[in-house]
Every structure is written in C-alpha cells, then in structure tokens.
Amino acid sequence: MLKALMKKELSQFLHFYMADSRKKKKRTRGAAALYLALIAFAFVSLGLMFYGMATTLQTAVAGSGAEWVYYSIMGVTAVLVGVIGSVFTANAILYKAKDNELLLSMPIPPRTILFVRMFVVFISSLLTVALVWIPAVLRIWIAVGASAREVIMQVVTLIVLSCLVTVLNCLLGWLVALLSRRVRNKTVATVILSLLFVGLYYLFYFNVKKILDYIILNLDRIAELFRGKAYPLYLMGSGAAGNVLNGLLFALAVFALFAAACAVLSATLIRILTASNAGVKRAVYREKRERQASAASALLRKEAKRFTGSAVYMLNDGFGILLMLLGAVILPFTAKSFVDPLRQTLETFGLVHAADFLPALICCMISGMDLISAASVSMEGKYVWIVRSMPVSESEALRAKLRFHLLVNGVPALILGVVGGIVLKLSPVVIAVSCLTTAAHIWLIGGFGLMLNVKKPNLDWTNEAVPVKQGMPVLLTMLLGLALIIVFGAAAIILGSFMPAAVVLLILAALYGFFALLIERWILRRGAKIFAELG
C-alpha cells in the first residue's frame, strides 16, 4: 500500500511536466526536457544570489581555523529559506488535498497517509534547501576544493537539513490547521500568518549585508556561541566540514525529531481533517434583496471569489498587489531620504534622465510577479465543466479571467505609478505616459499567461499548490516578465540617451499593446474553442 501511495504522489507531482492533461497523453521527450531546462534556469538564477552571499562569507572565514562556521551559517540560512518558502505549501499538502477524504475512507492507516504526504513536503523542502546549500558547497569546491569524505558529508547534510525543514514545515502547517479551525475566514487568517513569515524573509533579505558584516566582525564570538548554547549548529557545521561523528550525531537528532513529529501529526490527522470549526459561530441566514447583475459582472465576481478563497493562490500569484499598495503608502514618507541621493547616483553613471523611467519600470517589475491569469484556468480543476455549463460563451468566461487580472494589478500599479511620479517630481505628461506603459505591460503579461494556461492547463491536481507554484504557464509567464524588464531597461538606457522619456515610454506602450491585442484576439477566438473542449 505504501509503495502504491508513493507512486501516486510522485506521478501527481511530475504529471504536469511529463503529461498533457488536456490531450490526455504523455509529452514528448523534447517537450519534457525543455520544461525541466526552464526550471533549472530559474533555479540557477536564484542560486546565484546565495552564491554571492557564500562568496563573501567564505572569504571571511578562510584560514581562520573555524571553517565549519561557514557551513553552520549557510545551513541556518537554508533552513530559514526552506521554512519561509514552503510552510503554507505543507499545510495545503497535508490538510487540504482533495483526495484526503477518499484515502481516509479506505483501509489505510492514517500514519501511512501522513508519511506519504510528508514525503511530498520533503521533496519541496529538498528543492528549497538545495537552492541555498548547493551554491554554498560549490563555492567551497571552487575556492579550496574538497575531499571525497567532505563531499559525502555535505550531501548527507543536504538530506538531513531537508528532513529538518520538512519537520518544521509540517509542524507549522499543523499549527496553522489548528488555528484555522478557530476563525471564520480561514483564507484571511492564513494570508495574515503567511505575510508574517514573508515579512521575516524580507527583513532578512534587506539586512543580509548588515548580518554578514556582523558575522565577519564577530566570527570568534559566533563560533563560541555555536560550540555552547547552539551546539546542534556546531555538529551540523563540523559534520559538513568532514567530521563524520558530529555529522552522524546531528543526523540522529534530526531523525529523532522527525519520528516525534510523525507520531504527533498522525495522532491528530483524522481529528483535524474531520473536525468542524470549533469556536466559530454559525452563519445566520438573513433574507435580502439581490441586485440583478450582468453576465460580465457575475463572472468577474466569480473570479474574485475564487482568488480570495485560496490563500495559496493569493500569496503566490498576487503578492505584488500588496507590495504596490505598501509602496504607495511608504514612498511619500521616505522620499526625502532617497530622492536626491538617487538622482546624484544616476547622474554619476551618466543616466541623467533615468529617473523618468523608474515609476513605470518598478510598477512593471512588481506587477510582473502577479501571475493570476496564468493559473486561472487550472484553478477550475475538475469543475471546469461548471463554467462551461453557464449561459455565457467561452469567450466571455475567458475575458472575465483577463479582466480580473487587469483590474487587481492595474489599480495598485497605477496608484504606485502616480505616487512615484509625484515623489520624483516628474511632469504630468511623463506620469500619464508611465501609467499607460504600465497598463499595457500588465495587459500583455495577463494575456500571455491566460493563453498558456488555456493551451496547457492542469486540471487533475489534488492540492492548489501544484497549478499555482509548479504550473508551466506560471513559470513561462514569469520568464516573459523578466525578459520584458530587460527590454524596458535597455530601451531606457539606449533610446533615453537621445529621446524624451515620454516618447520612449509611448513606443514601449505601443509595442506591449500591439502584442497584447494579438494575444487577446487569439484567446477570444482559438482559445475559446480550446476552453470549450476542456474537462
């Protein structure tokens, strides 16, 4: 039974990359290889950031006699990134999978179901931890080399750290499941808790240089702390540096924690999955008059409810909305501290007019993180037939998905663009054209993501994290957003050197709008026919 369940989870994890859910057949080897290559590219791009951090730290500890501190610090960083990046994915995998009730109805022990779910969390944690740990060990191999024993221990440490992150993620997901039973709106509660974790991540990210400087200046004190009060970190670091005994002791401690977590979670699995919302007041029906709405408004409202009803969807594909609103609030209060230094820095590099492009560039960059439309079709899941059974055309249903993407991204982006333009003291014309370029960019990103999701939907998922985080339309749309930012920057530097900023922005808006119009025409014609055949 365990083998069958493991095979099922792995097949679901790899299903979208190896099979076409719309055509119900396996992908060609070339298509699967291309998708995996794109994932590897994204992985390497993010890993370069941690490689830079590892380079700074390794240079500081080289020749100090405490090289193990390097592994301890990078290991702690890997754990923090792994927990922050996957904690709410763990909650979705453990407690919100669509086949939980089906599995519980079978003669399968809860501990077996839990172990299989935790295995999926382990795979996710392994990928996140590797994002930090692999650049860390590569830096050592390139700088000073490594013996076979050290390489083996570093691989073992990667697996052990992934197990530790799995335990922490599952325990935190368990706590989230317990807390969500006590509140009426589970999505809001989950989003608030998620934002706390994300806030901690950005606090670490923006202070990473200060943290590294402190570590370098207080290396001896940190080494003493690890040997004393934080002894497990010493075992982990020295084990990765080649001390087999210490590495095995750290691994035993983690595996013991893993076993204890399995016991606690398996004992409460059925109670959490089958319990009602204790402490939550029942909704009381009150008769009220319902206003008549057009089909377009009803479809738009449906998209809004689907988006706000999923914490995973909101946090992964709509986080930029919050960033833009926060930026619009914070900018006026921080303008004095950075506007003049920013202009001086740009003038130093000969980019006198670059400030005119910044509001549009920043808005395009942040809104490009919101890939709502790229997962909107997949999020219908096996109930996509309900949309197609409504008395509306397929083109209207798809238009509503695109309109919702434009609305929830466009409004915050335009607010941020206007506030940024005022703060930078740009002319009204430049501000207006910046808003136009931003709107065209959002239109293009939204249309491209929806087009890909119509062509390559994943309707067979069991938890929402799969189409939202692992969907190929999401990945390709994200890469398009990065490419458009590169094009934007190149145009600002090259064309902005001899053309007014407003003209350059108009050219970009025209290009974005032209391709966005072509994509929307495809969606409403060919895409509507494909959408009609889904399910």
Assess whether pLDDT exceeds 90 at residue 91: no
Q: Is residue 148 assigned to a domain?
A: yes
What is the overall mean pLDDT for the chain?
Answer: 81
Q: What is the mean pLDDT of residues 500-522?
A: 93
What is the total residue count of the chain?
A: 535
Mean pLDDT across 82-110? 74
Q: What per-residue confidence (pLDDT) applies to 85?
A: 65
* Any domain includes 286: no
Task: For residue 155, tell me if it sits in a domain.
Answer: yes
- The DSSP 8-state label assigned to residue 356 in this structure reads G
Q: What is the pLDDT of residue 347?
A: 65
Res 43: pLDDT: 75
How is residue 65 annotated by DSSP? S
Q: Spell out a b/e string for 101-124, using b for 16 or more CB atoms within 10 Å of the CB, else e.
A: eebeeeeeebeebbbbbbbbbbbb
The residue ranking higher by pLDDT, 328 or 13, is 328
Please check whether residues 311 and 373 belong to one and the same domain: yes
**Higher per-residue confidence, 322 vs 516:** 516
**Lowest mean per-residue pLDDT among 7-11, 250-254, 278-282, 500-504:** 278-282
Distance CA 436, CA 508 (A): 10
> What pLDDT score was predicted for residue 465?
72
pLDDT band at 515 (very low <50, low <70, confident <90, very high): very high
With a cut of 60, say whether residue 504 has pLDDT above it: yes
Q: Quick: pLDDT tens for 197-241.
A: 666 666 665 666 677 677 767 777 888 888 888 888 889 988 988
Q: What is the rounded average pLDDT of the residues 85-105?
A: 72
Query: What's the CA gap between 175 and 152, in Å, rounded?
Result: 35
* One domain, residues 187 and 301: no
Least confident range from 183-192, 256-265, 404-413, 500-509: namely 183-192
Q: Total domain count for the chain?
A: 2
* Calpha distance 397→484 (Å, rounded): 27
Least-confidence region, from 157-166, 239-248, 292-301, 367-376: 292-301
Tell me the mean pLDDT in the region 293-304: 83
Q: How far apart are CA 468 and CA 369, in angstroms?
A: 12
Q: With pLDDT > 70 as the criterion, what percentage of the chain qualifies?
A: 80
Q: How confident is the model at residue 111 (pLDDT cuts 50, 70, 90)?
A: confident
The answer to whether 104 and 159 have CB atoms below 8 angstroms apart is: no
512 contacts 434 by C-beta, under 8 angstroms = no
129 neighbors 81 (Cβ within 8 angstroms):
yes
Report yes or no on 477 lying in a domain. yes
Q: Nearest Cα to 283, choosing from 184, 180, 179, 181?
A: 184
> Is the model's pLDDT at 165 over the cut of 80?
yes
Residue where a domain terminates, one of 216, 242, 274: 274
Residues 135 and 244 both lie in one domain: yes
Does 88 score more than 70 pLDDT?
no
What is the predicted pLDDT for the residue at 45?
A: 75
Of 126, 150, 127, 124, the C-alpha closest to 137 is: 150
End-to-end CA distance of the chain: 30
| Same domain? 318 vs 366 | yes
- Tell me the two tokens of residue 251: 């691994």
In a domain, 240, yes or no: yes
Token pair of 10 as six digits: 């792995």
Q: Bigger pLDDT: 49 or 201?
A: 49
Q: Specify whether 346 is located in the same domain as 482.
A: yes
Give the pLDDT confidence score for residue 50 in this predicted structure: 83
Backbone angles phi, psi at 344, to 5 degrees: -65, -40
* Measured distance CA(328)–CA(322) in Å, rounded: 10
Is 281 a residue whose pLDDT tops 60?
A: no
Q: Which residues contact 362 (CB under 8 A, 6 or more apart)?
A: 327, 416, 420
Is residue 433, in this structure, part of any structural domain at all?
Answer: yes
pLDDT band at 19 (very low <50, low <70, confident <90, very high): low
Rounded mean pLDDT, 73-84: 85
Question: Confidence band (pLDDT; 50, 70, 90) for 385?
Answer: confident
Q: Which residue has the tokens 């590099």?
A: 349
Q: What is the pLDDT of residue 290?
A: 63
Does 227 lie in the same domain as 308?
A: no
Query: Does position 6 have pLDDT exceeding 80, yes or no?
Result: no
How open is the CA angle 470-86-320, to the nearest 5 degrees? 70
Looking at the fold, whether 310 and 261 belong to one and the same domain comes out as no
* The two structure tokens encoding residue 142: 């390139």
CB within 8 A of 499, min separation 6: which ones? none
- Residue 279, in any domain of the structure: no
Distance CA 420, CA 414 (A): 10
231 in the same domain as 142: yes
- Same-domain status, 357 and 503: yes
Which has more confidence, 282 or 397? 397
Q: Are 504 and 490 in contact (CB under 8 A)?
A: no
Bridge partners (DSSP) listed for residue 19 = 26
Domain-ending residue, one of 241, 274, 307: 274
Instruction: Assess whether 256 and 310 both reside in one domain.
Output: no
Q: So what's the pLDDT on residue 119? A: 85
487, two tokens: 């094009």
The pLDDT tens digits for 466-498 are: 788 767 888 889 889 889 999 888 888 888 778
pLDDT value of residue 20 = 55
Q: Is the pLDDT confidence value at 125 over 90?
A: no
Residue 40: give the domain boundaries. 24-274
Residue 521: pLDDT band with limits 50, 70, 90:
very high
Do 356 and 431 fall into the same domain? Answer: yes
Q: Does position 23 have pLDDT exceeding 90, yes or no? A: no
Share in percent of the chain as helix, strand, coil (round to 5)? 80, 0, 20
- Please tell me whether residues 258 and 358 are part of one structural domain: no
Task: Indicate the residue type of 165.
Answer: V
Residue 405, judged by CB atoms within 10 A of its CB (0-12, 13-18, 19+), counts as: buried
pLDDT band with cut points at 50, 70 and 90 for residue 459: confident
CA 265 to each of CA 172, 434, 463: distance values in angstroms, whole numbers, following the listed order: 11, 52, 19
Confidence of residue 67 (pLDDT cuts 50, 70, 90): confident
Q: What is the pLDDT of residue 509?
A: 93
Q: Could you say which of 213, 243, 274 is where a domain stops? A: 274
Let me know if residue 227 belongs to a domain: yes
Give per-residue pLDDT as tens, 395-439. 898 999 999 999 999 999 999 999 988 888 888 999 999 999 999
Beta-strand ranges (E) seen in 446-531 are none
